[in-house]
Structure 1
Amino acid sequence: MVRSGRPEGNPPADPEPERHLGDRTEGLMCGIAGMIDLSGGRADRAGLIRMTRALAHRGPDGEGFFLEGPIGLGHRRLAIIDLSDTARQPLGNEDGRLQLIFNGEIYNFRELRRELEGLGHRFASQTDGEVILHLYEAQGPAAFARLNGMFAFALWDGRSQTLWLARDRFGIKPLYLGRFRNRLHFASEVKGLLQADGAPRRICWEALREYFTFQNLFGRQTLFDGIELLPAGELLEVAEGKIRTHRIAEGIPVNRSEPAGRTEEELLQRLTAAVNRHLISDVPVGAFLSGGMDSGALVALAQRRLPELDTFTAGFDVSGVTGPEARFDEREEARWLSRRLKTRHHERTIGPGDGWDLLPRLVTHLEELRVGMSYPNFFAAELARRDVTVVLSGVGGDELFGGYPWRYAAIAEANDPEQFDRIQFAAWCRLIPPDEQANAFLPEVWRRMRSHSPWERYRERIAPYRALPPVEKAVRFEADTFLQGLLMVEDKLSMAHGLESRVPFLDLELSDWVRGLPVEQKDPGPEGKRLLRRALAPLLPERTCRRPKQGFSPPESAWLRADRMATVRTLLAQPNSRVNEVFQPAWLQEILESHQNGRADHRLLIWSLAAFEWWLRRFMESAGEILPVPAESRKGTS
């Protein structure tokens, strides 16, 4: 049997209110938090309660605590599978020596459970979390490599006094770490860690330079100094005051040299199986539908099991928008595909000011600034949550099958690794090119960050794939970097509404098979995702399979010039704007002016600057405490 963790009685009433970031009633999702005292002292009970309750917006269905000696575990629950009290966390084994807190879903838990029952294991609930406990009892930490799912968890082994922290191989679920006052703290969100005793509120300058280069972070660092993100697929072992790092599964899938044979048919079969695994739920399931091939395939396959499927689209008011951005609204294509697939379709129209009005709330939920403008994801999740609790998303299809053909065209003939790196690096510098950064940041800020090289960080992340052909190398790099940013946005902004977003394209049985195919079979071709297009031909209309990729991006370049620049100036170009503590005011003015008069398209940079302004207001201390900025540096901002 497995029983709920022993919470040392009811926790006391809330301590004296401290600064909480975001509303407790906004969003409903599972969250985990905990700590271990590395010197063997007792865990901080009051701190654990604060950390866990800072995540209350993620889990409305209850909370649980486990404290014993140096370890403290806290959990907020949104029930998806097994809604009974037997599934409450922390989960413990028969004698209570193993304790688990878990966020995510294990899609092969039923197969693993049958195997364990055959070995004599007895289960008290239907939850997938209980399977993790029994599998660990049977196989130790090697068991974690067998989990096919999205997860972040902490498992305390009281017998060996060892804590295990793990994150799924694609990094679909986040887990943050912070070491303060000789305790290692961990939580699903930075908000939880900021409630820990001794947690600092400082900018990590290296991460800030990286973000304003790539509009993303490529390593474990976050914008918060002293707080890290456990890398995807990493396993942390904490015992006797020491922290050791392992990989859940070593290496990456190797490209098989033999022909796969009937590849398209097998791909469709494997995708069907992946979608079926992702439909396991005791609450309503729907799907995002953009009108594109990836989401269309998931909807068509899901509908075989769920004939009355709800689908959801967010699109843009493009009246008055000209040029390429006039094509950014996908609502009509989504309606057409919904009619063909016979779904119950819902849509939301996003207007020019909606994202800017949302920005403070959006940044509070994101905590970490990442790729794109992201607010369309927030509105799509808000729409879906009105009808369902779980939604299927097409995230990962582009990174698995090569969905960005304009990126591959530039490097297809770059057989020289140095030439490849120069082209690829320049393409991923999405915000401020490194050679312009000294003019953008205040001198005292630049002195703090200039030793950190975005070029070297890029080289570090591309190194494992250096021997691969150019296009395959680019696809692997996208999955290792860009996809991580997309998944962070997907997780935070769906969870803001208590919506669990599932990504079937990243199912391990599917993705390992695809990544192991011969390179020539995965060649995305000039249109992108050639293999997937061929595999889906029997499933989807030809119009959908032939449709070029359209990213989920608002027509912000036109909206900024026509409607929102006054709002931007009010936010960024005032004497009390917080960005003036980091950036040179004259440079800021030039960025706004050059976009306004059409000399440049700075929509991504302007959005990132505005998000950073609100990040400073939400998460950092009061003005002037980040750096002692001289008064003369603030002039010229009116």
Structure 2
Amino acid sequence: MCGIFGAVSLGETALKDVDFKSLLDILEHRGPDDSGFVFIDSGRFNPRGYTIWEAFSESRFSHLSPLLPLIDSPAGSKAIKEGHWDVFLGHRRLAVIDPTPTGHQPMSDPSRTYWIIYNGEIYNFSEIREELLKRGYQFRGRSDTEVVLFSYIEWGAECVKKFNGMFALAIWDGKRRELFLARDRYGIKPLYYAIWNELFLFSSEIKAILAWPGFPREVNLTALNEYFTFQNLFRYHTLFDKVFLLPPANIAFVSYEKGFRQYSYWDYHFVAQNGSRQEKDILCDLHDLLKQSVKRQLVSDVPLGSYLSGGMDSGSIVALASQEIPRLATFTAGFEVSRAEGIEKSFDERRDAELISYHFGTEHYEQVIHAGDISWALPKVVWHLEDLRLGMSYPNFYISRLASRFVKVCLSGGGGDELFGGYPWRYYRVFRSLSRDDFLRQYYDFWQRLIKDEDKRIFFHSQIWQDTFRTEPFEVFSQVFTYNPLLKYDSPEDHVANCLYFEAKTFLHGLFIVGDKLSMANSLEERFPFMDNDLVDFAMQVPVKFKLGNLEKMVKMDENELNKLKKYYFQFDDGKNILRKAMSSLLPPEITWRRKQGFSPPEASWYRDENAAYVKKLLLDSQVKYKDYINQSYLENILREHFSGKTNHRLLIWSLLCFETWLQVFFD
């Protein structure tokens, strides 16, 4: 797991007069173990033709390679200043597989024609390595990076279809004189880019791009409208104007001659192909595939542990991983809920996590998060998130901070809900859909998580509203479904499958972005066994009837009870039935059949109580920066409603806190 940053000249000017080391060191938290650089002259600027200058930065490996100068040495400064470089590749390394100098990046093939910088893990790299050995390739080390590089040399862009794992990578192809970029199927690892001033800049994080001399910092107003509608971004732009995110399952090519080209190589497709199979056979295959995935993702040359909530997703992973690793380290964050109200009293999952830990004999660590912990964490969380997404995420920062003190790699249960139907109260809202348009309108009404369209005119300043109105959020929402022309809208099963598709493309992707940023903030690698390629392909084919046990009852609901639908949305919380049954032989029954519980603090209560003063100080100050975009009078009314207990605005309050902090951190 690492951080990458690079630049390619697309014009007639070579790369120069830039402190490349300082740009890459912005990503040091993603890779504190090692750092390296390579400058390439493809021959466009220099009659000598293709030339390379490679350097180490300060690292624990640099003394092992005395022939490579440090970038800030006199020799390094001279080479950079006097060279005619049109490509720069930089890498910060978190050494997990083959933590030796042979895993150093940027890495080249023996001819130094191909160069790779890579962030991620390929869990089936050993199998691919064996295939490449048979084809005559010779390996210098044991890292999956070398496997990825030789895979590209052997199979070209098609190599990504062989990879089972998470990755964001860049390979300079000296023969074609072009840069190859790729991102994993599910978007677990981020890859940002900008095309500006005849430059192509790319990075694991936006902040390195923003630090390029002269790069403009401007708020993307259409993205802002999207964020305050969905608490997420469904298109692949960012809150920073001119900065984009390469979509999941996409590859791209960049060159001076052809510019930027982008292609998709895979997509989700939830379609039942196991309809004729017996449930017992599906259960057996599901158990075996999850066990296989967990075993694959345990590969590591450094200490590895697992997050552990009180739910069955992380519980299933711990159950299977503990069979391979005695005294597996597990980590839980709980919440102080003595002053919480209503359903929020159940948000502390430590008791259930302790039950699982005891059951499987793990070495368990816990942290209790209190109301006041948000004020210390929020500026750090926003700095690392950069591109705001989803709900209360500072607990993710705390739990990864705890885990990083004991391990370097942590397994997570992310993806189980999206693959196996863990949010039934969302899906049942569209059971009465009669057509594609009905489905989209009903589902869109639910996913307006923050500001409804009819309130936008009074939420945004008039000029901001006019600028953001260019693209309506409903169009953005609908476009997610047009990505896949195979979707159908003919039955309740189709509607649920479409919901699963949408949430995997948007909500799950947002969770991965947040997870990556806040774990790597603490130099911790997160892995997701539910997102194994074989397991995902299988889960998409499992019929909806095996995922939702109350499917038929909801379909047959009396039309006269439609005014009572809200009661049913929360009554039928039966999702992931097939997964629950598959793991019932391993997990305690009180965990297997436990109600779905998200990882969220009791913020509705905390905002009214202990954190009320902090909220008021940050959002009602006369010098707040958000006033340039949002009407403060609207926000004051929101806070009055929340503090009085009239309405629960916890999601909007969190987003406003983040937006104000974001403006202070990146624009002040």
TM-score, length basis structure 2 = 0.87
Question: Which deviates further from its counterpart, 354-363 or 208-217?
Answer: 354-363
Q: How does 1:29-108 map to 2 (within 5 A)?
A: 30-39=2-11, 41-44=13-16, 46-69=18-41, 70-108=86-124
SS in structure 1 at match of 2:581 = helix
Alignment partner of 1:198 out of 214, 228, 252:
214
Distance 2:274 2:518 in 1: 40
Deviation of residue 577 (structure 1)? 0.7
Alignment partner of 2:498 out of 473, 489, 504:
473
1:213 is the counterpart of 2:229: yes
1:417–1:466 contact (8 Å) kept in structure 2: no
Deviation of residue 197 (structure 1)? 3.1
1:32–1:74 contact (8 Å) kept in structure 2: yes
Count of aligned positions: 593
Q: How does 1:49-448 map to 2 (within 5 A)?
A: 49-69=21-41, 70-239=86-255, 240-249=257-266, 252=269, 254-256=271-273, 259-261=276-278, 262-448=281-467
RMSD: 1.5
Question: 5+ unaligned residues in a row in structure 2: which ranges?
Answer: 42-85, 551-571
SS in structure 2 at match of 1:46 = coil
SS in structure 2 at match of 1:280 = coil
The letter for the 1-side match of 2:392 is: M
Distance change in 2, residues 1:72/1:246 (3 Å): same
1:506 is the counterpart of 2:531: yes
Distance 2:408 2:12 in 1: 41
Question: Which deviates further from its counterpart, 246-255 or 600-609?
Answer: 246-255
1:415–1:470 contact (8 Å) kept in structure 2: no
SS in structure 1 at match of 2:609 = helix
Deviation of residue 300 (structure 1)? 0.6
Distance 2:432 2:238 in 1: 35
Deviation of residue 413 (structure 1)? 3.3
Distance 2:160 2:187 in 1: 14
1:401–1:524 contact (8 Å) kept in structure 2: no
Alignment partner of 1:488 out of 497, 513, 517:
513
The equivalent residue for 1:547 is 594
1:452 is the counterpart of 2:471: yes
The equivalent residue for 1:9 is none
SS in structure 2 at match of 1:304 = coil
Distance 2:205 2:291 in 1: 33
Deviation of residue 250 (structure 1)? 6.3
Deviation of residue 67 (structure 1)? 0.9
2:249–2:267 contact (8 Å) kept in structure 1: no
The letter for the 1-side match of 2:633 is: A
Alignment partner of 1:537 out of 564, 584, 606:
584
Distance 1:250 1:604 in 2: 30
Deviation of residue 97 (structure 1)? 0.3
Query: Could you list the per-position Cα deviations for residues 568-596 of structure 1 after superposition, in whole angstroms to 9, with x for gaps in the alignment?
Result: 11111111011111111211110111101
The letter for the 1-side match of 2:104 is: R
Query: Could you list the per-position Cα deviations for residues 340-376 of structure 1 after superposition, in whole angstroms to 9, with x for gaps in the alignment?
Result: 1111111000111111331111101111111111011
Question: Which deviates further from its counterpart, 148-157 or 458-467?
Answer: 458-467
SS in structure 2 at match of 1:319 = coil
Distance 1:96 1:419 in 2: 57
1:38–1:241 contact (8 Å) kept in structure 2: no
Distance change in 2, residues 1:605/1:253 (3 Å): closer
Distance 2:164 2:506 in 1: 21
Deviation of residue 251 (structure 1)? 7.0
Query: Could you list the per-position Cα deviations for residues 521-573 of structure 1 after superposition, in whole angstroms to 9, with x for gaps in the alignment?
Result: 44464400111111111121111111010000110001111121121111111
Distance change in 2, residues 1:485/1:524 (3 Å): farther
The letter for the 1-side match of 2:505 is: D
1:411–1:424 contact (8 Å) kept in structure 2: yes
1:44–1:72 contact (8 Å) kept in structure 2: no
The letter for the 1-side match of 2:108 is: G
Deviation of residue 485 (structure 1)? 0.9
Distance 1:529 1:44 in 2: 55
Distance 1:168 1:93 in 2: 22
Distance 2:368 2:268 in 1: 44
Distance 2:123 2:434 in 1: 40
Deviation of residue 273 (structure 1)? 0.5
The equivalent residue for 1:631 is none
Distance 1:334 1:429 in 2: 33
The equivalent residue for 2:56 is none
Question: Which deviates further from its counterpart, 255-264 or 609-618?
Answer: 255-264
Deviation of residue 41 (structure 1)? 4.1
The equivalent residue for 1:4 is none
Distance 1:572 1:431 in 2: 17
The letter for the 2-side match of 1:502 is: R
Deviation of residue 179 (structure 1)? 1.2
Percent of residue pairs bearing the same amino acid type: 43
Distance change in 2, residues 1:251/1:316 (3 Å): closer
1:396–1:505 contact (8 Å) kept in structure 2: yes
The letter for the 2-side match of 1:256 is: Q
1:47–1:195 contact (8 Å) kept in structure 2: no
The letter for the 1-side match of 2:244 is: E
SS in structure 2 at match of 1:237 = strand
Distance 2:531 2:431 in 1: 25
Distance 1:519 1:138 in 2: 40
Question: 5+ unaligned residues in a row in structure 1: which ranges?
Answer: 1-28, 623-638
Question: Which deviates further from its counterpart, 60-69 or 609-618?
Answer: 60-69
